Structure 1
């Protein structure tokens, strides 16, 4: 099966979306966590400052607790509009930001940051001029506006409708920002909406029930319950722990002089997908096959190129004195529920 295919379905009663590229599972979204979704907007109530970190703990609705990293100038009891940025892992507080964005398929509305911008990925000058005209006609000037890269081939009416919808949502939420009690103002996007919003390249879309089984997605999900990923050559083991994600690269049966470098480069190309499908983030430590320091630069360049195309923010920290390579990846998704998926 060639090309891109988006499948919207359910797995064990949980809403799910899968992206296939040439028949291979490239991305997976499953709504399996009973917690606020990233992107959800709350009126939070400041609870107590975290001394030494400059942060603030907040109370959200339904008894949830959030952590705002930059809490300077805030006082306990103060109401604050915040947006969930990721999942709290292991009972930790939910990470939030006070820089609220209203994001859709074509537009991002930025309250408190006036101005108008167009994605740098759109390089055609004529198209940029067309988009500026569309934006000026739809923009109400009350908030900032960013037109996303998906606008490159979108119809003018679709972009206009999206901009207006996000501006109306921003106005409604900001009107509810004041209050004395915590309240959920938006619930965040589920897998099907996220797929429509983020997977914008041309693709066949399958919405019929049973699409996961018909297109072999269930079999590929089942393969994720194991920690080992086959490479060509060698293999890679991805094992999450409470503190970090450990990645071990092996050459397998290949004993040629170039085996170590080939296995490491193959791991660089495969790692973003392996982490993305399993929903893993945080601190990541990679134990590459031992190579000379002259080859480390080549491995690092390959790793940087691989993560450049990944949608989840990942910082390449660098090599440790023990020869490990460290990454810091945003916890934008909850880990894949392997225990729930073992018998699919």
Structure 2
């Protein structure tokens, strides 16, 4: 089936959203019991962790950990935002660099300037968007010292929609930044799966938000496939994705193909699909890939294929490099919860 569809439904009693492009599952959000990334707290500083350059904070949802703290004293309130999901037994990861993000606009406290996404290449459109920003900010001002980013989704939006988003984020940011005193409190809820779908999946798509949409679009079967660690790559090749306590291990196999180029073909197919598979499975942290056997001279080609696939991925991932044993290491942000337990 050609085209894009956004299915908004529930899965095992949890709110869920799925993006299907040309009949293939491209992205997935499933509600979890952990604090949501994007939650914004007034937190209370507790104790510094000497040698780690951070401090534990008290929040309504439990202990949080903030890195790179300077001049922060125990008992002091501060505003922080959840950046990702905590590993089992660890504190909630937070940052003091707040972002007020919506579908079209992002307000950036303590980062002044007006910017338009680099993905918008049309100079005339960029100029008209900046004019719209100046006109809108004449009606409602940003917090002092704050900046504004217009996202790539502005390219297909009306001026009224963009202006409404800018005003909403400006007013929200001013209200939150003025609320610095008091006990630990949740000030802004992060988006749930349906809200994230509206905010992040901005390309034109059919939206099915009626009950049973997952079954109608085959999402149920696609989620069942995620329960298996084995991902078929065609011609008998496969990759096996297995999360461990320390890292995510990925093993690429050629299967029964014994041709000279079998290792290169299997690894290329694996690297082109790896970002999508990690995204759907909610896997992050250290990722170590053991490619299929191939000449060392082919490493540059397969690495370029992986980097091209990562450019289309929303999850921040760093390609660290090759190890002495011929494995490729990645560092991937943990901004999603592993879905294996939820499925």
TM-score normalised according to structure 2 size: 0.96
From 115, 119, 122, the equivalent of 1:121 is 119
Matching residue of 1:175: 178
> Cα distance, 1:340 vs. partner?
4.4
How far apart, in 1, do the equivalents of 2:297 and 2:310 lie?
A: 22
Query: For structure 2, which runs of at least 5 residues remain unmatched after alignment?
Result: none
- SS of residue in 2 equivalent to 1:96: strand
From 166, 170, 180, the equivalent of 2:169 is 166
Partner deviation per Cα, 1:156-187 (whole Å, 9 max, x = no partner): 000000000011111111121222x1110011
Matching residue of 1:201: 203
Partner deviation per Cα, 1:71-129 (whole Å, 9 max, x = no partner): 12211111110000001011111110000010000000111222211111111111111
Contact 1:150 1:200 in 2 (8 A): yes
- Please list every run of at least 4 consecutive aligned residues from structure 1 whose deviation after the TM superposition is greater than 3 angstroms: none
Q: How many residues matched?
A: 337
Matching residue of 1:218: 220
Q: Are 1:13 and 2:13 counterparts?
A: yes
How far apart, in 1, do the equivalents of 2:295 and 2:22 lie?
A: 36
Q: In the TM superposition, what are the counterparts of 1:222-233 in structure 2 within 5 Å?
A: 222-233=224-235
Matching residue of 1:98: 96
Query: For structure 1, which runs of at least 5 residues remain unmatched after alignment?
Result: none
Matching residue of 1:49: 48
Contact 2:142 2:170 in 1 (8 A): no
Matching residue of 1:315: 318
- SS of residue in 2 equivalent to 1:74: coil
How far apart, in 1, do the equivalents of 2:22 and 2:113 lie?
A: 40
- The alignment yields a C-alpha RMSD, in angstroms, of 1.0
> Cα distance, 1:141 vs. partner?
4.0
> Cα distance, 1:69 vs. partner?
1.2
> Cα distance, 1:153 vs. partner?
1.8
How far apart, in 1, do the equivalents of 2:56 and 2:342 lie?
A: 32
Partner deviation per Cα, 1:273-323 (whole Å, 9 max, x = no partner): 110000000000001012221111111111111111100000000001111
How far apart, in 1, do the equivalents of 2:164 and 2:250 lie?
A: 44
Partner deviation per Cα, 1:121-167 (whole Å, 9 max, x = no partner): 11111111110111001121433111111111210000000000011
Matching residue of 2:295: 292
- SS of residue in 1 equivalent to 2:173: helix
Contact 2:142 2:174 in 1 (8 A): no
Partner deviation per Cα, 1:199-218 (whole Å, 9 max, x = no partner): 00111111110000111100
- SS of residue in 2 equivalent to 1:113: coil
